[in-house]
Structure 1
């Protein structure tokens, strides 16, 4: 059964919630039932995955009820978690860190990276016409679009660190990173630089290239993505069982999308997102081949580096990044892929 919710119904006040509840030790010892009850319902915010599961036929295999929420990314998912209106969502690495600092108790239950992230990063640094930026060193004194609590914000801080610059050496301009906001701000010269991703990597230089708009590489790994849940959901054995089954289908769906470019382009990029066929083809190639790590050790180390960097730059307290991961789910996605390959 597939129902649909829209974002406005889920967005509520950002008042902090009590983090008291299931301890990490108790959670780690809580056994997830072997079978999921068909009466269990999960509310999931992962719009692209919803389409991919439908296109691949995996949606029919979901052994529980799903309410699909048309939201994704850190800010929207965090607000829905606070409202107890969402059980699972797709997000990058920074939202879980930001949630911890605002008193929101959450866990990461799946991780995905790219096969060749440095060759095919998610973002490039967009440069405004007339900004005179040819390398990261040229960012000194420039206005840079900045979105705290999101992956793009952390990437900006990493870029500054790589360039040997501090926040005081530039002017960070806070603005949301959704849609075409960054590319429009660059084109209108509201900022000098901003991380660009998805089809904006193609569209921005195409639209503003004649005026001098361009993108430059940053040389930093930026490919982490996750399935993210409020701790109250994974602490519920029945919901945890449903989340485990979703993670299995989610992992297979990532590779289905990579291995079926025509179906993904037409079904998701063109029909669902309203992109042109050419933009869809570009985006699929840009996404690259996914990789589902069976060992979360390196993933957690990267997460820790991000925690340490953000803590240093924002004045927040450092904490152990491993507390953000529910390691009961560590091998679920990779084992599902392995089992699929072993089938005749």
Structure 2
């Protein structure tokens, strides 16, 4: 829909899993740029002029709408680090970036999925631009090790995209004694953001894209029980984790001038649904698998942030719509409080594990 101010609309998937998306765009040029990001599995139905343009593109002979390689027409190749890059939104983004010619470092837990992703990249001629780092990011030691590995190889990182998280119906602690949601959904993002800041600072237009759930009220945070030792619920753990990442964004933007920080809520998306579920939650997840929008539909706003980082230090997007980040739910005092608590928690671990900054 050109010139339409509305929000994206997703239809129900058909028997083969295909889904029609109605997407608003300001112009044909904007539509052309963004639709290329969906890759060869997407097909434009209307308007006819745009469909014809994309079908006639030279690279359409190989893949229906795969974007042209970077480096052509003077376009710069970017280096993008993605956590959770072998599943869900992370994988959809990684594949899109490789198709268009960027370099991708995927950090994820399962080496088998990592090898499969590398094999797919090699099969499409992108093997030399794909790198996999195996790490269980729920462990502080592993998050630090992954960050060190990236720093050792990358001269500059254009974008860090944080996607990894996992649902637990029952409260679980890591081998380091940290509640797993707090460790994976929050601490790993804290550690990788700060750990890769020097490499990000070397890029011309660096950005951190934190795929979380911005905009929840501040009162979802249990300040005296951040690891939910009492009255644990998996949904509450993810809700609090999203708010902690809001505050992480506030603190990061204050600390690192010149590195844009973008919080993204993609909406209900059919991701990898990693985790362990009780029967009630599993039934809800199965419904989501059938009705949620595909992971590819969450990619365009992330790509937009990578390609043209906002001028503002901190931005929050909910399904492509900007929300205010200057109100009480993004309180700098609360961000400073969380920063201090985070340093204390990392300091309580073995000295070589925490490395607080």
State whether TM-score is above 0.5: no
Relative contact order, higher structure (CA 8 A, sep 6+) = 1
TM range (shorter): under 0.3
TM-score normalized by structure 2? Answer: 0.25
